[in-house]
Amino acid sequence: MDYFFAMLFLGMYFIRPQDWVPGLVGANVIRPVMLGWFASVAGYGSSSKIPGWFSTPHDWVIAIYYAYVVWTAPPGIGAGMGMFSLVVFYFLTVHALGDWRRVLGYLKFWNVLLLCVAGFGVLQVLGMDITGGRQATEIFLGRLSLGTWLADNPNALGHTVVLAIPLSYVLFFWRGSIAGRLFIFPTCFALAGWCAWQTQSKGSFLVGAGLTVLIFVVGRPKWVQIMVVSLALVTGVGALSFLPRMEEMGNLRADEGVLGRLMAWEMAKTSMDSNTFGVGWKQFIALLDWQDGRRFYHDIPKATHCSYVQVGADLGRYGLYLYLMGIWVALRTLLSGKGLTDDQERCRRAVLLLLLGYLASGWMINRQYHTEYFLMIAAAAAIHRLKLAREEGLDSTAEATLDDGGADGAVGAASWGGGGVQFLDKSTYETISMKVAYRKPSRAKCGID
């Protein structure tokens, strides 16, 4: 049941039916999910093979980050309760992703939800405005936006859906089936690419291009890496210039939007330098004076359009360090070693792409306190627990791999080191199976160590 609630919450986060479904608009649909999730964990216990709420560095970093936010927040802004639900969903997600099959299913569902968001955008272009985002699209002069809180502006929508392209490649094309390579991945690419094109978001184009190059570089031979990078520098830069609004990149000094962001960044840096612990969670707002011809505007709110700048102004340098520490420990887990099977490696690469996309997009949009930050780190923490379980002999993956081969004749098992295939004879198989059989996974009954 905990896995069901993890998937349900993820779906509500991206689809956000409470923003556009008649009868649900304005309703608190998350609270019943949280209560049901709590009841599931209390009744059935944690699904994690490593019991305890603080078993990985990720758990401690998230807890310390939360304590810091509450401690530095001014009275009356509700930082404690506002961030509490995010931390709760982190821990619940970690304990719901108790095996590799669940992690892979969770990531595939994440990808499906990104494609659903892209589908909403494409349907609006075709004349079917499901989420009521046409008004927002008109406000942004035809740049595609949706009627949901998560994608109510073209930049947010573009940065959301563009991740589906590299993610679909890893989940369906890389060492995938014929259907995945010839049908599923091209369909996902076309849907996400069409939606991103309609947003005309320059930042999302750059993030998508960077991640696409990355998936063809990481893990490849040196000569392939050199060839891909060279090809990207020669043809990729020129190809980007043909995308919508990319011609504006050649004269950024005259771009009023860029000038406004730089002014907001300067104000944020001044605030961070003046306040050791920041001004408080979600409290910094850049107010600019702007002159347009003969008209003068005073105290115009301007978003920083940068997660790191916003966190530094809100929480100070130490808060920024803790925010980045959560991402760092997640990356450390994902970069420390490859998966033993294709699906394990698929999970590792998928979460890594999500984190790298989030890091890159963080320079251009404000998503510093969004739920996906905690969910991505939770997925990495779940993988970290599975690695610990394997080292401690609590993971049944080895036993399942051996059993699949059968006791008659030769047994094929994935090599734990070199990545090849080692064939075991019947006597070796029986010896290993007998040892593995006594190393069953253990769980805490109530999920508390």
Residue 413 backbone class (left: φ over 0; alpha: ψ -120 to 50; beta: rest): beta
Which of 255, 306, 378, 345 is CA-nearest to residue 9? 378
Q: Indicate if 409 and 336 belong to the same structural domain.
A: no
Q: Indicate if 318 and 409 belong to the same structural domain.
A: no
Q: Indicate if 367 and 408 belong to the same structural domain.
A: no
Rounded mean pLDDT, 116-135: 94
> What phi and psi values does residue 199 have, to the nearest 5 degrees?
-75, -25
Rounded mean pLDDT, 88-105: 94
SS3 content of the chain, % helix, strand, coil (to 5): 65, 5, 30
Cα distance between residue 422 and residue 144, in whole Å? 53
- Residue 294 inside a domain? The answer is no
- Residue 36 inside a domain? The answer is yes
Q: Indicate if 412 and 384 belong to the same structural domain.
A: no
- Residue 27 inside a domain? The answer is yes
Q: Indicate if 315 and 233 belong to the same structural domain.
A: yes
Q: Is the pLDDT of residue 343 over 50?
A: yes
- Residue 19 inside a domain? The answer is yes
- Residue 270 inside a domain? The answer is no
Q: Indicate if 239 and 222 belong to the same structural domain.
A: yes
Which of 11, 15, 55, 14 is CA-nearest to residue 33? 11
Tokens of 110: 């994440």
Q: Indicate if 326 and 425 belong to the same structural domain.
A: no
- Residue 28 inside a domain? The answer is yes
Which of 437, 438, 401 is CA-nearest to residue 422? 401
User: Between 164 and 434, where is the model more confident?
Assistant: 164
Question: In the beta sheet, which residues pair with residue 394?
Answer: none
Cα distance between residue 155 and residue 137, in whole Å? 11
> What phi and psi values does residue 416 have, to the nearest 5 degrees?
-85, -5
Most confident of 148-152, 261-265, 407-411, 444-448: 148-152
Taking the complete model, does pTM exceed 0.85, yes or no?
A: no
pLDDT in tens, 356-384: 999 999 998 999 999 999 999 999 999 99
Q: Indicate if 328 and 431 belong to the same structural domain.
A: no
- Residue 71 inside a domain? The answer is yes
Question: In the beta sheet, which residues pair with residue 286?
Answer: 302
Q: Indicate if 376 and 416 belong to the same structural domain.
A: no
Say how many domains are in the chain. Answer: 2
Q: Indicate if 422 and 355 belong to the same structural domain.
A: no
Looking at residue 341, its amino acid is T
Cα distance between residue 417 and residue 401, in whole Å? 15
Q: Indicate if 67 and 135 belong to the same structural domain.
A: yes
Rounded mean pLDDT, 203-210: 88
Q: Indicate if 386 and 407 belong to the same structural domain.
A: no
pLDDT in tens, 240-285: 666 666 555 555 555 666 777 888 889 999 999 999 899 999 999 8
What range defines the domain where residue 415 resides?
A: 400-437
Tokens of 81: 């309760």
- Residue 145 inside a domain? The answer is yes
What's the pLDDT score for residue 245? 60
What's the pLDDT score for residue 213? 86
Whether the Cβ atoms of residue 117 and residue 161 lie closer than 8 Å to each other: yes
